[in-house]
Amino acid sequence: MNKTTRAWLTGGIFGGLIALISGGLVGFLAGIIAGMVTGLLVAKHVVQRTPMEGFRRGAQNGLIAGMFVLVGQLLRGLLINPIIDPHHAGLHAVYTAALGGLVLSGLVAGLFGAVNTLPAPRNRAWSVGLIVLLVLAYPWLDQLLELRFMNEIIPVIVFVLMALGLNIVVGYAGLLDLGYAAFFAIGAYTTGLLASPHLGVNMSIWIAIWISAAVAAIFGLILGAPTLPLRGDYLAIVTLGFGEIVPIAVNNLDKLNINILGYNVVKDFDLTGGSKGLNPIGRPWLPFIGEFRADSPIPWYYLILIIMAFSIFFIMRLRDSRIGRAWMAMREDELAASSMGIDIVRTKLMAFSMGATFSGFAGAFYGSYISAIFPSSFAFDVSVMLLCMVILGGMGNITGVIVGGLIIQLADRLFLPQLSQLVQKLFEKSDIAVLKELNFASDFRVLLFGLTLVIMMNIRPEGLLPSADVRAELHSGDDDDAVVATGVKQTV
C-alpha cells in the first residue's frame, strides 16, 4: 500500500469510527484527530519543499480522511440515531458537525504538512509544538463542544504515565513484570493513609506524593532483590503473585492483629479500610487556585500534564545515560553485558524500582484525584492492560508507548462504553429475543478489547510505533540465517 494512502486511511478510520460511535459534536473532535494522524503520517513519509506545498499536500489527504468522518457522522445522525432515539431532533446539528469534521481534518492535516517543510530540527520541534498546543487547548475545546470528557481524560493520562514507567522495566531492561499495578496500589494507599483522616495524619498531598513514590520504590527493592537474580520466567511468576497479593492483603488489613509472645500488641486495627477503601483523601492546594475540586477538572488536567512532561524529560535522560545503556545492553545480551562490567542484579534492581517509583507516583495522584480508593481498583487486569499499552504502542519507544496507551485508555474509558451503549440500544430495538437478553456492555467489552490485541499481535507484533531495534528484531528472518551461517563458519 502506498504510504500516503496508508496515512489517510489510518487517520480516516480513527476519525470515522469515533464519529460513528459518539455522534453529536464529537464529530469536530473526530475531524481534528483524523487530521492530526493523517498529517503526521503524510509528513513522515513525503518530503515537500515549500510550506504552501506541504500545506496543500497535507490538506488534500486530510480532506480524504475527513470524508470518513463525514460519512461516520452522517451514518450516525441519519441512520442510527432515528432507530435508537426516534424523538431525536436536530438534523441541522448533524450536518454542521459532519462538515465541521471534514474541514477541520483538512485544516489540521495541512498545518502539520506545512510545519514539516521547515528545515530539519525545527520541523520536529514544530510538530511537537502543535501537538502540545492542541493538548493544552483541549479543556477549552471540551467546553466549547460540550464533550464532558475531562473527567475521563485525567485518569487516561495517569495510566499513560504508568505505562511509561512500565516501559522502563519491560521495554528498556527487558524484564517481564506482570504485577505492576501492585505498585500503583502501594502508592495510592500510602497517600490514602498519609493524606486522609483515616489515621488522623492529614498530610499535604504535595509531601505525601513523594513519600508514596519512595515507598513504592522500596517495595520494588524488597520484591526485586530476591527475585531479580533468578531467570526471567521466575520474575514474571513472582510479580504475578505479588500483583495478586497486594489487593488481597489490602482488602484484609481492616482487622489487623499482631501478637508478640502471646501479647496482643495490636488488636483489630483498621489499617486500610478493607473493601470499603479509604475516603476522603486530601487534594492538592495551590495559591490563587485554592484546593483542587472534584467538579472542576481543569487544574487537575494541567497538573497531570506537568507531571507527564517532567516524567518524559527524565525518562529520556535516563535512556540516554550510562544507566540507560546498561539496561539496553542487558536486554540484548545479559552474559555479554556482565562481561563488559555491568552488574546485572544491580542494574535490574534499578530498572525495577525506577518503574515502581513511577507507578507509586501515579497511584498517589490517582488516589488524590478520585479521593477514594478501593482494593478492586488494582486488580490483575490493570497490570495486563498496562502491559498491553506498552506492547501495542511499541516497546522501548516513548512516543509509541504514549500513543498505544492513549489508544487503549481512550477506547476503554470513552469509546468502548459508548459503543456498547449504542449496540445495547440497537439490540433492544431489534426483534430478536436473544439479542434483547444480551448485556452488551458487560459481556463484550473485554472481548472487543482482547480481539483488538490478538489482531494486533498477528499483523504488527512490534507495535504501532516500534523502536528501530525491536522492529529489526521481529523482522529479521534473513539475518537470523546469517548468524547461523557465521556460527558454522567459526566452528569449521
Partner 1 sequence: MAPILVAQGIVKQFGGLTAVNKVDFELEAGSISSLIGPNGAGKTTFFNMITGLYVPTSGSFIFAGQKINGLRPHEVTRAGIGRTFQNIRLFAHMSARENVLVGQHTRLRTGLIGALLRPKRVRDEEAAAVTKANDLLDYVGLSRQRSSDSAKNLPYGDQRRLEIARALATDPQLLLLDEPTAGMNPQETDDLTKLIRRIRDERKITILLIEHDMKVVMGISEKVTVLDHGAKISEGLPYQVASDEQVIEAYLGKGAAAHGKSGRKSSASSPSA
CA atoms of 319 and 326, how far apart (whole Å): 9
Q: Does 402 bind partner 1 (CB under 8 A)?
A: no
Segment near partner 1 (CB under 8 A), from 50-58, 122-130, 296-304, 472-480?
472-480
**Max intra-chain CA distance, the chain:** 83
Q: Does 472 bind partner 1 (CB under 8 A)?
A: yes
Smaller CB separation from partner 1, 254 or 473: 473
Q: Does 35 bind partner 1 (CB under 8 A)?
A: no
Segment near partner 1 (CB under 8 A), from 76-84, 111-119, 190-198, 310-318?
310-318
Q: How many CB atoms lie within 10 A of CB 263?
A: 7
Q: Does 489 bind partner 1 (CB under 8 A)?
A: yes
Phi, psi of 372 (to 5 degrees): -150, 135
Place of cell 487530521: 35
Instruction: Work out whether the CA dihedral 81, 67, 143, 406 comes out positive or negative.
Output: positive
Smaller CB separation from partner 1, 339 or 458: 339
Smaller CB separation from partner 1, 185 or 328: 328
CA atoms of 313 and 114, how far apart (whole Å): 27
Q: Does 225 bind partner 1 (CB under 8 A)?
A: no
Q: How far is the CB of 474 from partner 1 (least distance, A)?
A: 11
Alpha helices (H) along 26-50: 26-45
Q: How far is the CB of 404 from partner 1 (least distance, A)?
A: 20
Q: Does 468 bind partner 1 (CB under 8 A)?
A: yes
Select the residue interacting with partner 1 from 148, 276, 317, 475 (CB under 8 A): 317
Count of residues near partner 1 by CB under 8 A: 36
Vertex 430: Cα angle to 91 and 13 (nearest 5): 55
Phi, psi of 67 (to 5 degrees): -60, -40
Segment near partner 1 (CB under 8 A), from 139-147, 252-260, 417-425, 463-471?
463-471
Q: How far is the CB of 175 from partner 1 (least distance, A)?
A: 17
Q: Does 473 bind partner 1 (CB under 8 A)?
A: yes
Give me the DSSP letters along 429-460: HSS-HHHHH--HHHHHHHHHHHHHHHHHHHH-
Q: Does 486 bind partner 1 (CB under 8 A)?
A: yes
CA atoms of 62 and 148, how far apart (whole Å): 26
Q: How far is the CB of 345 from partner 1 (least distance, A)?
A: 9
Q: Does 325 bind partner 1 (CB under 8 A)?
A: yes
Q: How far is the CB of 349 from partner 1 (least distance, A)?
A: 11
Select the residue interacting with partner 1 from 354, 382, 387, 401 (CB under 8 A): 354
**Quick one: which of 31, 28, 5, 16 has its CA closest to 68?**
16
Segment near partner 1 (CB under 8 A), from 57-65, 130-138, 431-439, 482-490?
482-490
3-state secondary structure of 413: helix
Smaller CB separation from partner 1, 318 or 464: 318
Instruction: List, in order, residues 6 or more apart from 74 with CB less than 8 Å away.
Output: 94, 98
Report residue 58 as a C-alpha cell: 497535507
Burial class (CB in 10 A: 0-12, 13-18, 19+), 305: middle
Binding stretches for partner 1 (CB under 8 A): 314, 317-318, 321-326, 328-329, 332-333, 335-344, 350, 354, 468-470, 472-473, 479, 486-487, 489-491
